[in-house]
Amino acid sequence: MKYIINNSQVNSAIYKYINDLFIGDNLGWDYDINYDTDKPERDIINFYGEEYREGYQEEWYFQYIKKEWYEKSEGGNIKDYWLDKAPLLDVIDTEWQSKMTLLFDQYWVSIFEQWFKDKYPNFPVKTFLYQYRGIDK
């Protein structure tokens, strides 16, 4: 028996996989901590998995960085470069990225970006960062 699966069906399956992965308590978020002041940095939001609650910082899946963070930071040309690209969504868990890439090749990237925009409409994204085969996209 032959099955024909179109792009829309593949995209829907990937979206559903991401959605099922991050339902309920499987995804939380918190403000980053400014280590100079020990106060929350409200311009950086970390999204994390269940293990993070148990003290494993590696379980941050992705980070949302507001434009205001770059406006307050120092850094000259680098600051200007990132300020122009903010707000950013940065997938920082390379293990999770590798798993998604093994499962879906690069097709998961645009679908994940759309999933984030659907789930968090108050967090607009201008630039989406991830690492694919060792190269920042």
Digitized pLDDT (tens) for each residue of the chain, 137 residues in all: 777 778 888 899 999 999 988 876 678 777 777 666 666 678 888 888 765 555 555 567 888 989 888 887 777 777 788 888 999 999 888 788 888 889 998 889 999 999 999 999 999 999 988 875 444 44
2 located within any domain: no
Residue 58 confidence (pLDDT): 53
Q: Provide the token pair at 128.
A: 């989406």
Residues 6+ apart with CB under 8 A from 50: 25, 26, 59
Q: Residue 85: inside a domain, yes or no?
A: yes
Host domain of residue 100: 7-136
Q: Is residue 16 part of a domain?
A: yes
Question: Has residue 1 been placed in a domain?
Answer: no
Q: Which pLDDT score is estimated for 54? A: 54
What is the reported pLDDT for 40?
65
- Which among 41, 35, 5, 11 is positioned nearest to 118, based on CA atoms? 11
Return the pLDDT at 137.
45
Residue 137 and residue 108 in contact, taking contact as beta carbons nearer than 8 Å: no
Question: Model-level pTM?
Answer: 0.78
Residue 12 belongs to some domain of the structure: yes
In a domain, 47, yes or no: yes
Does 80 map to a domain? yes
Counted domains in the chain: 1
Does residue 64 belong to any structural domain of this protein?
A: yes
